[in-house]
């Protein structure tokens, strides 16, 4: 799970807030192929949560388990160990009927398009609509819309043999989307497409996510489309190695960049730090840290104001006010001492916090950070 699960509204899917229902919840998922001595573990303790309307891109080297995870989520394989919830249904132990019903809510876009050669582009997509008992008029409108939107308006009545590889792929995409699925699973959807067509496809995905709340999970090696992801999940050897919420990380990076103390860090170090930060919210009057307590977190004020209070012979004395763009909590971490002041939220506030070990790691990497902290600490003692 990413560190930013509680981040307030930012952009895209996240503007729906943290209470957005989960489309997928993977917990401690293992998967094996083969029997006996040939048995091989393809997925190891995978955990993942995907919210409604998110676009997730899965990356990783060949054989790292992306397709295995995608096909498990798509009910195309049986869950062996662990829990996998899709659209509220637990798949481990699910009945045949449950799986059949669930599949109707999903759209599949896989590389092998399997279009019927004797049917036109329109008829191929319509066949999926008929199998799903879609209303005829609605289906007709949706097929027209999708095929036009994917740049196939002029080829709507062509059969696959008269279509290029990229055009066939776009028919397969329309077929996977015709029934307005709640979840789309796509394996290399843009691999056969030129840059322009690939962009058309992912722009359509973004519209479906934004306008219909459709959740999209794509396996891709196509770096040209990484920018549409809300989250990038990287797999290595059957493990989810990283799960980065892209928009949130970049929002935090942009914020961190304004601080002189982060100015000499490279983008990749900054991204690394942003990914480790947590978000904490406070209401007016909330005590954020208390004098005398051990220090575990460093705080950056994203928005709001706080009072710095010092307990002086039993009397609480206000010594400073801090607001957006300032930070606190560093002294106790650096000196391994208890907190030397109490911090109370003056207004509704949002903080980014960094744990002690990560904070010390940042310090080790940034000379500006060290110089600035030295000055700040000197001025506060
Ligand atoms: N049907 C199968 N039988 C046996 N082993 C399999 C089977 N399918 C996948 N595997 C193995 O499981 C591991 C994960 O494979 P998977 O296809 O999920 O990886 P991937 O990341 O999708 O790779 P690619 O990017 O090449 O599609 C690999 O070691 C693969 O050899």
The pLDDT of residue 30: 97
pLDDT of residue 16: 34
pLDDT above 60 (res 10): no
Q: What are the C-alpha distances in Å from 208 to residues 52, 138, 203, 205, 307?
A: 11, 17, 9, 5, 45
Quote the CA–CA distance of 224 and 76 in Å, as a whole number.
28
Distance 73 CA to ligand 1 centre (A): 15
pLDDT at 290 > cutoff 50: yes
Q: 22-250: what CATH class?
A: alpha beta
Alpha-carbon Rg for the chain in angstroms: 25
> How many residues in the chain?
381
| 58 Cβ contact partners less than 8 Å away, ≥ 6 residues apart | 66, 69, 70, 217, 218, 219, 220, 233, 234, 235
Q: What is the pTM of this model?
A: 0.68
> Residue 201 in contact with residue 189, Cβ under 8 Å?
yes
Tokens of 304: 């709001």
Instruction: Choose which residue among 29, 67, 185 to substitute to test ligand 1 binding: the one with the highest number of ligand atoms within 8 A of its C-beta.
Output: 67
Judge whether residue 4 has pLDDT over 50. Answer: no
Lowest mean pLDDT among 61-75, 109-123, 152-166: 109-123
Q: Is 113 helix (H, G, I), strand (E, B) or coil?
A: coil
Residue of higher predicted confidence among 276 and 84: 84
Output the pLDDT for position 376. 57
In this prediction, residue 268 has a pLDDT band, given cuts at 50, 70 and 90, of: confident
Q: What is the CATH superfamily name and number for domain 266-379?
A: Jelly Rolls (2.60.120.10)
pLDDT at 325: 80
Residue 373: its pLDDT value, please?
Answer: 61
Q: Is the pLDDT of residue 332 over 50?
A: yes
Provide the pLDDT for residue 226.
83
Q: What pLDDT is recorded for position 86?
A: 97
**pLDDT of the residue at 279:** 79
pLDDT score recorded for residue 308: 96
Least confident of 44-48, 284-288, 374-378: 374-378
Q: Is 59 a pocket residue for ligand 1 (Cβ < 6 Å)? A: no
Q: What's residue 371's pLDDT?
A: 66
Q: Is the pLDDT of residue 262 over 90?
A: no
**Looking at ligand 1, which atom is closest to the CA of residue 235?**
21
Domain boundaries, the chain: 22-250, 266-379
For ligand 1, the distance from its centroid to the CA atom of residue 33, given in whole angstroms, is 9
The pLDDT score that the predictor gives to residue 227 is 82
The pLDDT score that the predictor gives to residue 338 is 93
Q: Does the pLDDT of residue 2 top 50, yes or no?
A: no
121-131 vs 136-149: helix crossing angle, rounded to 10: 140
Kindly give the distance from the C-alpha atom of residue 42 to the centroid of ligand 1, in angstroms, as a whole number.
7
Distance of CA 218 to the CA centre of its chain: 12
pLDDT band for position 11 (cuts 50, 70, 90): very low
Mean model confidence pLDDT for the chain: 86
The mean per-residue pLDDT over the stretch 36-48 comes to 94
Token pair in block for residue 284: 């007016």
Work out the average pLDDT over 10-35.
Answer: 68
Cα distances from 50 to residues 14, 128, 248, 345, 379, in angstroms, run 12, 26, 15, 32, 45
62 in contact with ligand 1, CB cutoff 6 A = yes
- Tell me, rounded to whole angstroms, the distance of Cα 74 from its chain centroid: 18
Q: Is the CB–ligand 1 distance for residue 42 below 6 Å?
A: yes
Q: 3-class SS at 282?
A: strand
Instruction: Give yes or no for residue 17 having a pLDDT over 80.
Output: no
Q: In which band, very low, low, confident or very high, does the pLDDT at 368 lie, cut at 50, 70 and 90? A: low
Residues pairing with 22 in the sheet? 51
Between strands 349-355 and 55-59, the pairing is unpaired
Average pLDDT over residues 67-93: 96
């Amino acid at each position: 799970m990413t560190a930013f699960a509680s981040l307030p509204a930012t952009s895209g899917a996240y503007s729906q807030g943290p209470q957005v229902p989960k489309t997928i919840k993977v917990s401690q998922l293992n998967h094996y192929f083969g029997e006996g001595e040939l048995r091989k573990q393809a997925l190891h303790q995978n955990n993942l949560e995907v919210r409604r309307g998110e676009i997730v891109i899965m990356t990783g080297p060949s054989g790292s388990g992306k397709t295995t995870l995608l096909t498990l989520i798509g009910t195309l394989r049986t869950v062996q160990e662990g829990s996998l919830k899709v659209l509220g249904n637990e798949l481990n132990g699910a009945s045949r009927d449950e799986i059949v019903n669930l599949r109707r809510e999903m759209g599949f876009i896989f590389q092998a398009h399997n279009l019927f050669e004797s049917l036109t582009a329109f008829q191929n997509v319509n066949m999926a609509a008929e199998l799903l008992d879609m209303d005829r008029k609605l289906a007709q409108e949706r097929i027209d819309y999708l095929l036009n939107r994917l740049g196939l308006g002029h080829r709507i009545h062509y059969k696959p043999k008269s279509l290029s590889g990229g055009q066939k792929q776009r028919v397969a995409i329309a077929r996977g989307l015709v029934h307005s699925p709640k979840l789309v699973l796509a394996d290399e959807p843009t691999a056969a497409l030129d840059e322009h067509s690939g962009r058309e496809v992912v722009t359509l995905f973004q519209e479906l996510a934004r306008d219909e709340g459709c959740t999209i999970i794509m396996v891709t090696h196509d770096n040209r489309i990484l920018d549409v992801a809300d989250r990038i999940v990287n797999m290595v050897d059957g493990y989810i190695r990283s799960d980065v919420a892209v928009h949130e990380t970049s929002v935090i990076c942009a914020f961190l960049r304004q601080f002189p103390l982060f100015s000499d860090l490279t983008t990749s170090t900054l991204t690394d730090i942003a990914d480790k930060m947590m978000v904490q919210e406070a209401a007016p009057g909330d005590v954020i840290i208390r004098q005398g307590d051990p220090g575990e977190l460093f705080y950056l004020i994203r928005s709001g104001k706080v009072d710095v209070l010092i307990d002086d012979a039993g009397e609480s004395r206000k010594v400073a006010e801090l607001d957006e763009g300032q930070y606190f909590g560093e002294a106790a971490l650096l000196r391994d001492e208890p907190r030397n002041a109490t911090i109370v939220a003056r207004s509704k506030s949002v903080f980014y916090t960094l744990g002690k070990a990560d904070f010390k790691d940042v310090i080790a990497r940034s000379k500006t950070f060290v110089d600035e902290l030295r000055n700040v600490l000197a001025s506060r003692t």
